[in-house]
Structure formats: structure tokens, C-alpha cells
Amino acid sequence: MVSFVVRRIVSAVLVMFSISVMVFLIFFATPGVNPAARIAGRSASPQVLAQVTAEFGLNRPLPIRYGLMMWHLFFKQDLTSYVNIGVKVIPQITGAAPVTLSLVFGAAIIWLVVGVLGGLVAAANRGKWIDPLIMFGGIAAVSIPVFWLGQVVGLLTQTKFHSVFRWLPGSGYVSFTQSPVQWALHLLLPWLTLATLYAGVYARVLRAELVNAMNEDYVRTARAKGLSERRILMRHALRCSLISVVSLFGLDFGSLVGGAALLTEVVFGLPGIGMLTDTSLQNLDLPVIMACVMYGAFFIVVASAVVDVLYAVLDPRVRVVK
């Protein structure tokens, strides 16, 4: 078990390293692109260009440039953005993180409750009208572009039915410490929008797993013992099926906290990691992009390592087979 965990951590660190190299190569070594001109902006003076070249070591070999970037990003932590001169990168990330965390945390609660309930009810009522109805809802939920749903929700609540939704504030973010009520009100629509997609995914996955589980031998045994269908579903089939939901949740939560909720944040104007990434990409603010991508990759890598280790705890066979 210990050696499995150690191996998993080593491979996670290796993946993180490779991702940093890959982002670095995308921005510094794409053929036909002059990185200094990219970083300094579209109409930069020769002085700024020279400064950028010196700071990022652009006239030196690639590995040294990579080392310089990582040195400034992680160890000296003095990397500054070029678009907003003088603004340091690390504080921008730490400032944006709580916003994303608030968004993802609330949405996760909603989608877990709705998704698991939906999957359960659909699987329990197989063959009745309610099952296809829920599954149709699930398909609709996974087919809606998130940014579009955000726009339509905004359109309906802010204009068309404004009199009904008057109690809802406009877009933006209010921190929890400032006012918990305003915090929740501002985040209500983003929560629902983000949760829609995942609730659909989880309901579909859980239903498929439950339907599979209900055909397993242990369920037949339980039936033969004379247990009620309801008890079999809740006590036997659900337990097994939840494993895959839990591992899915680990990965989704990790990637969302790391900035995958970008579209929701941009549509609702929430200044989180996703929005920071988007603005830095639009402005080609390379130091910030680098930091955001590393931040996002960190959470995905950690989440998938945690999920793998959890799996190994639950299912000893995984440890050997990998």
C-alpha cells in the first residue's frame, strides 16, 4: 500500500513537471512566433522588448529560460504581469481562489443532491414514465452550452421576469466575510448554472451503474433472501454504484477548483481563477497564464492521485494491476 502511494505521488510530480514544460513550450517555442513580442504586448517599444528579453532570458537556450521562469514563479515569487505592470502574479491567484472555491463548493452540493436523487429515482422506476423523463432531462442538461445557459438565465431573471426576480442582485461577487446573505444571493444563479451540467452527468452515470448492479449475482442473492426491491437498491446496489460517482466527483471537483469553471465565471462576472485565466489569455499576460495553468493542473493531478489511492483502499486488486 505504501509503495503504491509513493509511486502515485512520484508520477503526479512527473506529470506536473511535464505540464509546466508543455505550457512553456506552447508559448515560448511555437515555431514562427516571437515570444518577446507576444509577452510585451502588441505595440511595445524596443526598450520594453529588450527588458522582456533580458528578464525571461529569451536570448539564452530553452532549458535556462524554463528554469528562470520557474525560479521566479515558485521560489522568488516575484513574477510580475506585463499587462498590468507591477502587479505580482501570486497575490492575483490567491485573491481569486476563494471566489472559485465558493462557486464550486455550492454548485457541488446542488449537483450531488440532484444528480444522485435523479439517478436513484430513475433506476428505481425503470419501465415507468418517470425514468425516461429524468433521463431526457439529463440529456438536455449535458447538451446545453454553459455560457449560453448563463446568458439565458441572466436574460430571464434580469429583464423578462424582472418583477418576479427583483430580489436577485446583478452579476458580480460579494465575499462571504462581507455579507453571507449577499454572497449566497450573488452566487445562486452561477451555482444553478454550473450544477445543471454535472447534475445531468451524475444522474446518467449513477442510473447506468445501478442498472448494471441490479443484474449482478449479489443482487440475485439478495432477492433470493427475500429482501424488498427498495432495500436491495438502497443497501446493496447503491453502495457499489456510488464508488464510481465518488471517483468522478473527485476529478470534477479538482478540475473545477483549478479553473475549469471558466465559462460560468466569465458569464456571471465572477473574478475567480477561471476569469483570471481568461483575461490573462486574452491579454497574453504570460506570467499569469503560466501560474494559472500550473494551479489548475495541480488540482487535477492531486484529485486524480487521491481518487486512485481511494480506489486502492476500497479495491485491493488495483494495487497490483495499476
Instruction: Output the smallest distance, CB 3 to another protein, in A.
Output: 19
Longest dimension (CA), the chain: 83
Quick check: 197 and 146 in contact, CB under 8 A? Answer: yes
x-or-dash pattern for another protein, window 26-65, by CB under 8 A?
xx--xxxx----x---------------------------
Q: Is 300 in the site for another protein (CB under 8 A)?
A: yes
Helix (H, G, I), strand (E, B) or coil at 88: strand
DSSP string, 4-40: HHHHHHHHHHHHHHHHHHHHHHHHHS-TT--HHHHHH
Quick check: 233 and 210 in contact, CB under 8 A? Answer: yes
CB nearer another protein, residue 79 or residue 286 = 286
Whole-angstrom Cα distance, residue 100 to residue 286?
21
Interface region with another protein, contact rule CB under 8 A, candidates 119-127, 151-159, 165-173, 214-222: 151-159
Quick check: 190 and 270 in contact, CB under 8 A? Answer: yes
Number of residues that bind another protein (CB under 8 A): 62
Interface region with another protein, contact rule CB under 8 A, candidates 91-99, 119-127, 216-224, 293-301: 293-301
Q: To the nearest 10°, the Cα dihedral for 157, 159, 160, 166?
A: 50
Radius of gyration for the chain, computed over Cα atoms and rounded to the nearest angstrom: 24
Interface region with another protein, contact rule CB under 8 A, candidates 48-56, 114-122, 154-162, 234-242: 154-162
Instruction: Output the smallest distance, CB 177 to another protein, in A.
Output: 26
Task: Give the residue, chosen from 88, 212, 223, 269, that forms a contact with another protein under the rule CB under 8 A.
Answer: 212
Closest CA to 81 of 283, 304, 319: 283
Quick check: 110 and 193 in contact, CB under 8 A? Answer: no
What phi and psi values does residue 264 have, to the nearest 5 degrees? -60, -45
Interface region with another protein, contact rule CB under 8 A, candidates 16-24, 55-63, 213-221, 226-234: 16-24
Interface region with another protein, contact rule CB under 8 A, candidates 136-144, 166-174, 216-224, 227-235: 136-144
Chain residues binding another protein by CB under 8 A are: 11, 15-16, 18-19, 22-23, 26-27, 30-33, 38, 139-140, 142-148, 151-152, 154-155, 158-159, 194, 197-198, 201, 205, 212, 244, 248, 251-252, 255-256, 258-264, 266, 277-278, 281-282, 284, 289, 292-293, 296-297, 300-301, 304
